[in-house]
Amino acid sequence: MPLQAINSLSTTPKMAALFSDESMLGAMLSFEAGLARSEASVGVIPASAVAPIEGAARAELYEAGEIAAAGLRSGTITIPLVKALREKVRAVEPSAAEFVHWGATSQDVADTAIILVLKRAREVFQSDVAWLDKALSRHSDANAGTVMLSRTLLQAAVPTTFGLKVAGWLGAVRRAQARVEDAFGEALILQLGGAGGTLASLGDRGIAVGEALARELSLGYPEAPWHTHRDRLANLMCALAVMTGSLGKMARDISLMMQNEIAEVAEPVAKGRGGSSAMPHKQNPVGCTLTLAAANRVPGLVSAFLSSMVQEHERAAGGWQSEWATISSIVQATGLAVASMAEVAEGLRVDTARMRANLDGTRGTIFAERANILLSAKLGREAASSLIERALAASAKGRDFVDVLAEMPEVARVLDSATLKDLRSPGSYLGSAEQFRTNLMRSQKQECSALDRSKGRKS
């Protein structure tokens, strides 16, 4: 499905198709056809009514614009859609028309339809997160020993490795995906409660119909209808927001590292990707930009969803009616962020020489902490701090910090030449960086394996 201009920077073609008019109508009609089959299976409606209802329950038979316009008058598009479905069934088999939407209410259709779409969205997320995971894992392993600057408050700090930095991104993505999967598992359930949430219209066969319909649609069956209890969906929206925020952090890091003055990494290059309409020399961080835009939007959308949770009694006025647009926007924004960062990670260009050059460009000042520790052990903290301060002042005027230290008699008396030489080696001051990296990679893989096993149990 082609993107619309208005949402071209807020979704992907796959996600846009999931939330298209045809998809949404199709999901609603899947509910109606499944309901007819389920009710016939337990003797609530005649078996002869099923085929005419199934035959009419095809999205291409309906004009979405007309139904949407009528929905503005009825307060839900379920009412005009059911009316149109009943008319089409009546044209084929008048007696079957009486059993369209039997015992259900409008919210049953609307809620189950959005759940069916979310079920398909889950598959897209799983695929794109797996793509991102594979790319980040490859970069982390390949750059386990690639030394670079860590940066705190945007300033040079101490040496770290690019492998650890990438593992940090990946760890956050995997934790977020575990939460998203758990939330999907809880939220993908049928809604069928009838007029007041009791299924009284189906007599003693309400639960049997509900269980059959859940099987028909491959959804979970809840303990009871959840018309005004939106906690499961809220949990999913929050989990998606955390995923988007974690991706936004990764995008922020990469976009900063792409600045010309830093130039340590770069997004993949492709025709028409990341250019400027005015400056031909530019290669903009387009994937990061789209992800950051999503991360800017999603928190407000989640806030809107959380506000809509306060719903009155057994059917809300204005609560669930607001949710389709909000859910659609959150899911599509998160989907865009995942796909964008997967593309970025897949083709990310890493300039290890520039990382080392930026590290060397600090003129050794990033070793001040290490020098202070060594000297404090020999001279005491106050004396060591005084020497470090003098060396840093000289370095600010263009001298190398370690060279200045080596020329100080007070330093030469307590630190031998081998120690001073080693002081210049960033690889000697990485602490537990590699252990942290491998911990992240190992623990997150275990977490994902446990998640896969739990998914198998749920299915």
Catalytic residues: 276, 315
Phi, psi of 264 (to 5 degrees): -90, -25
Burial class (CB in 10 A: 0-12, 13-18, 19+), 269: exposed
The candidate with the shortest Cα–Cα distance to 166, out of 253, 263, 240, 248, is 253
Distances (CA, A) of 210 to 10, 97, 111, 426: 36, 21, 14, 64
Side-chain-side CA neighbours of 129 within 13 Å: the count stands at 27
Q: Which two structure tokens, joined as six digits, stand for 264?
A: 């340590």
Are 440 and 171 in contact by the 8 Å Cβ rule? The answer is yes
Are 343 and 287 in contact by the 8 Å Cβ rule? The answer is yes
Q: In whole angstroms, what is the distance from residue 342 CA to residue 169 CA?
A: 12
Are 215 and 145 in contact by the 8 Å Cβ rule? The answer is no
Q: In whole angstroms, what is the distance from residue 340 CA to residue 294 CA?
A: 10
Q: Which two structure tokens, joined as six digits, stand for 363?
A: 């003129």
Q: Which two structure tokens, joined as six digits, stand for 291?
A: 């992800």
Are 247 and 341 in contact by the 8 Å Cβ rule? The answer is yes
The candidate with the shortest Cα–Cα distance to 105, out of 202, 24, 193, is 193
Give long-range contacts, CB 8 A cutoff, 24+ apart: 305-309: 305/230, 305/233, 305/234, 305/237, 305/330, 306/234, 306/237, 306/238, 308/230, 309/230, 309/231, 309/234
Distances (CA, A) of 190 to 111, 169, 211: 8, 35, 9
**Helix, strand or coil, per DSSP, at residue 3:** coil
Q: In whole angstroms, what is the distance from residue 302 CA to residue 234 CA?
A: 8
Q: In whole angstroms, what is the distance from residue 44 CA to residue 203 CA?
A: 9
Q: In whole angstroms, what is the distance from residue 349 CA to residue 265 CA?
A: 5
